[in-house]
Chains A and B, each alone.
Chain A
Amino acid sequence: DAKTTQPPSMDCAEGRAANLPCNHSTISGNEYVYWYRQIHSQGPQYIIHGLKNNETNEMASLIITEDRKSSTLILPHATLRDTAVYYCIVRTRLESQAGTALIFGKGTTLSVSS
């Protein structure tokens, strides 16, 4: 069973905020939420991850609901170069430390247009 559910596609106007949702209703207390993106014909790129607090870095912000059953990745000012497939992945710290592979779902294809 998939651990996360994401909409297959979203559109966003250039310069506007892109809000990408992810449902992970079966997440357990020791599981983190990770976001990666894959620009066409490139390898995936790490964006951000969090446990329960909201996180922000130079690329994006991650908002996790209080019950941790869903989260939203926010690109505050989307550009054409943000057009990509965005993957939301849930995994434990132990999986990260043990070096188990990332398992990718279908993700959300974000199309940013001018």
Chain B
Amino acid sequence: GAVVSQHPSRVICKSGTSVKIECRSLDFQATTMFWYRQFPKQSLMLMATSNEGSKATYEQGVEKDKFLINHASLTLSTLTVTSAHPEDSSFYICSARASHTEAFFGQGTRLTVV
């Protein structure tokens, strides 16, 4: 299957700082990318959907000013957690799809805010 790479795989940051997570489609052009968050022992929760070149669509309850999503190219989307707090500690997962294909998932990023 197609390869989606996330970086970093894990990150620790101080409370109040911002952290950026990258999601790249390595061997295909991703017209749509999705960002999920997963807390321990829970399922994946969709945060937002982004199409290349347009603003992301956020799910209800997800603060767009806190979770900044940029999808500037067909192979890269970034999620920036701004002014991170300990409750933002979670497993963040991206997925990417090309037109008329299924989505493929990155390996996830473990964020710990201390």
Partners in one complex: yes
Give me 14 other A-B pairs in contact (C-beta within 8 A), A102-B34, A105-B43 excluded: A43-B4, A43-B93, A43-B108, A44-B44, A44-B95, A46-B1, A46-B102, A99-B32, A99-B103, A101-B46, A101-B95, A101-B103, A104-B36, A107-B43
- Smallest beta-carbon distance A37→chain B, Å: 11
Contact (Cβ within 8 A) B105 A43:
yes
Residues in B with CB closer than 8 Å to A114 are none
A interface with B by C-beta (< 8 Å): 38, 41-46, 87, 96-97, 99-107
Please name the residue on chain B nearest to A106 by beta carbon.
Answer: B43
The CA of A41 and the CA of B108, in the complex, are separated in Å by 7
Contact (Cβ within 8 A) A43 B43:
no
| 13 contacting pairs across A/B (C-beta < 8 A) | A42-B107, A43-B6, A43-B93, A43-B94, A44-B93, A46-B1, A99-B31, A101-B95, A102-B34, A102-B103, A103-B46, A104-B36, A104-B44
Q: Is the interface of A mostly helix, strand, loop or mixed?
A: loop
The CA of A41 and the CA of B51, in the complex, are separated in Å by 26
Is B78 an interface residue, CB under 8 A from the partner? Answer: no
Please name the residue on chain A nearest to B4 by beta carbon.
Answer: A43
The CA of A32 and the CA of B86, in the complex, are separated in Å by 39
Among A42, A43, A107, the residue within 8 A (CB) of B95 is A43
Residues in B with CB closer than 8 Å to A38 are 44
